[in-house]
Amino acid sequence: MRCVAHTLQLAVIDSLKDPSITKLLDRVRCLVRKLRNQTYLYLIKKENLNMPILDCLTRWHSTLDMLERINYLKSFVQNMSANDSKLRKFCLNNFEWNQIEIISNVLLPAKICTKKLQSEQLTLTDFYGAWIGCKIQTKKITASFAQKLLQCMKNRELHIMNNKALISAVFLDPRYKIILTEEQSITAINHLINLWIHIKILEKENESTIFTDDNFENSDNLSEISSNLNSNDDIEEFLKSQDLTELGDQSSLILSSSQKSTISTRIESLIKSYHIEQKRIGYKTNILKFWKSMEHVHPELYELATVVFSVPGTQVSVERLFSGLKFILSPYRTNITAHNLEDQLIVRTNRKFENKEKKKYVLLIMN
């Protein structure tokens, strides 16, 4: 699954590659660099204004921050350039100031959507709802740059909507499943059927593994007999290899073709019944709570939903781990073992969840 936050970032970067936009951004960067010298910073602080921001080319969000901040300093720049010939060379004309304001307004919905995509409990369809909201808000803006950004988002959306996991999640979400085409719905149904069969195969494998482990635990004499066997015995080694082959053949036949057909037919009927009978619900509904309420009504579909909605839509949590790693694996702790490093990183990452549980417990006692 592609990181949806990164996909949105790529769509915005695509829109900013327009030659006229690139030229304007270069002009703004030159102006910001000029304002960030000691003389102008002193005057800005004296006026109790915020400092100008210089963007980072790998983060489009910083480009928007730069545009918003320079637009905030517009009056200061114009007043200073009236009496300063050096600053006047970097000052922008009225058309460029208007373009900065338009670009900032167009990128604002994408900024809000990016903030939503940084949530920790974000399901695939929550992302899809945020993505749709971003497109709707961008479409409302009557500007050529807004239409260009909208087209870039649609082009990037084609890549993520080809993912069967995402289509299946949208299909199991009554808030958004009406958006799917008939072909996409069929793809989702087939994917969910295959997923259900795979779940049942894993359940059978776990049962057989537990049964085998119990047999070995209860057979003390078997271990004693095996220990007396010569490890260099060619016949014994041959029999062991045959035994492993038989186990492999048996594991592949955990579910026969008739069993798979029966399971497939039943889950297909349940999915299609859900598709026909389930009505649309409000888009503000928590989809995880919705399926939790359906646990006893549709237990099979609930089990499918728990798997489908567990797929992460972004890599934000992984990036947070990378950021937190530098506080643990410092230059003074280079000899820490991999096991201890992993344990400390888990504790650091889940510490806030423990705090949340403590707050809930305190509130429960107070009530």
- pLDDT tens, position by position, 221-269: 545 545 555 556 677 676 666 654 444 444 445 667 777 888 888 898 9
Instruction: Identify whether residues 16 and 143 lie together within a single domain.
Output: yes
- pLDDT per residue as tens digits for the range 84-104: 888 888 889 999 999 999 999
The answer on 142 and 10 residing in a single domain is yes
Instruction: Tell which of 162, 195, 221 closes a domain.
Output: 162
Q: What mean pLDDT comes out for the span 168-172? A: 93
Do both 298 and 261 map to the same domain?
yes
Specify the higher pLDDT residue, 161 or 138: 138
Q: What is the pLDDT of residues 290-316, one digit of tens each?
A: 999 999 999 999 999 999 998 887 777
Q: Is the pTM of this model over 0.75?
A: no
For residues 202 and 147, membership in a common domain is answered with no
Considering the domain architecture, whether residues 117 and 211 belong to the same structural domain is answered as no
**Is the pLDDT confidence value at 213 over 90?**
no
Output the pLDDT for position 324: 75
Question: pLDDT value at position 358?
Answer: 65
3-state secondary structure the chain: CCCHHHHHHHHHHHHHCCHHHHHHHHHHHHHHHHHCCHHHHHHHHHCCCCCCCCCCCCCHHHHHHHHHHHHHCHHHHHHHHHHCHHHHCCCCCHHHHHHHHHHHHHHHHHHHHHHHHCCCCCCHHHHHHHHHHHHHHHHCCCCHHHHHHHHHHHHHHHHHCCCHHHHHHHHCCCCCHHHCCHHHHHHHHHHHHHHHHHHHHHHHHHHHHHHHHHHHHCCHHHHHHHHHCCCCCHHHHHHHHHHHHHHHHHHHCCCCHHHHHHHHHHHHHHHHHHHHHCCCCCCCCCHHHHHHHCCCCCHHHHHHHHHHCCCCCCCHHHHHHHHHHHHHCCCCCCCCCHHHHHHHHHHHHHHHHHHHHHHHHHHHHHC
- Based on the fold, state whether residues 34 and 154 are members of the same structural domain: yes
Residue 114 has pLDDT above 80, yes or no: yes
Query: Band of the pLDDT at 325, cuts 50, 70, 90?
Result: confident
Asked if 185 and 304 sit in the same domain, the reply is yes
Q: Model confidence at 367, in pLDDT bands (50, 70, 90)? A: low
Residue 168 lies in a domain: no
Give me the domain span that covers residue 342: 316-366
